[in-house]
Amino acid sequence: MDDIKRLSEIALTLMESDAKYDQDVCKMTVLFPLLETLGYDATKAGDIMLNPAYIDSGEYKIDYGLRGDTDESVKTMIKMIEFDAEPGLEFSNIRKCIMPGDRVEYIVITDCFNYYVYANADGGITFMDIVSFNICNVTNAQIRSFGVLKNPNVAARQDYALNDEEEPTEQAAPAAVSKYEKPNKTTSKTEKAQAVVSGTLMPIIVGS
């Protein structure tokens, strides 16, 4: 959680300057460090892939891919957009880049500050919105949802701190307990998955 807080502060500083329009600077100072909290190493070959999918003509490309459980697989595809651009405008081209056999689990559209995350709904090219947030003002619940993108081969370094106000429990916490607590380690994978997809899941354009 401390890593995310530091990134939020850095991103907020960039947002208040013209540097927010310099995508290369923003990627190095915000995007790649954020992916690092998910267990991806930008210096390790194969962890973050360049242009994993594209239209045959080469006029449109997916910018990055995050590796799956094998060296050849891509779990998540990331499309970069200009600062404050509308993410929905990208889907017609993204659909042309991804084939059903690619087995892509997630798509992320981002300008380094705003993150729009979509999960594969049917094993093909239909995706559903699961979370969107601004890194400058991100909540614990949004961070946990973003955690579905973590590297399946490496334990993510991210500390998923829970806010008592957001995650009420049946038993009241002792007065001396910090406002932020780590989740119960016995929580099942099913319960975690349910927490990720709780709320409204809105069908998105890809695959329609």
CA distance 117 to 182: 24
Per-residue confidence in pLDDT tens, the chain, 208 aa: 688 889 999 999 999 999 999 999 999 999 999 999 999 998 888 899 999 999 988 899 999 999 998 888 899 999 999 999 999 889 889 989 988 788 899 999 999 999 999 999 988 888 999 999 999 999 999 999 999 999 998 855 544 443 434 443 344 433 333 332 333 433 333 343 333 333 333 333 334 3
pLDDT at 31: 97
CB 152 within 8 A of CB 132: no
CA distance 93 to 90: 6
pLDDT at 125: 83
- CB atoms near residue 86 (< 10 Å): 9
Question: Which of 53, 90, 71, 56 is closest to 152 using CA atoms?
Answer: 71
Task: Give the alpha-carbon dihedral of 114, 2, 183, 113, to 10 degrees.
Answer: 0
pLDDT at 109: 97
Question: Which of 207, 190, 148, 183 is closest to 1 using CA atoms?
Answer: 183
Give the pTM: 0.74
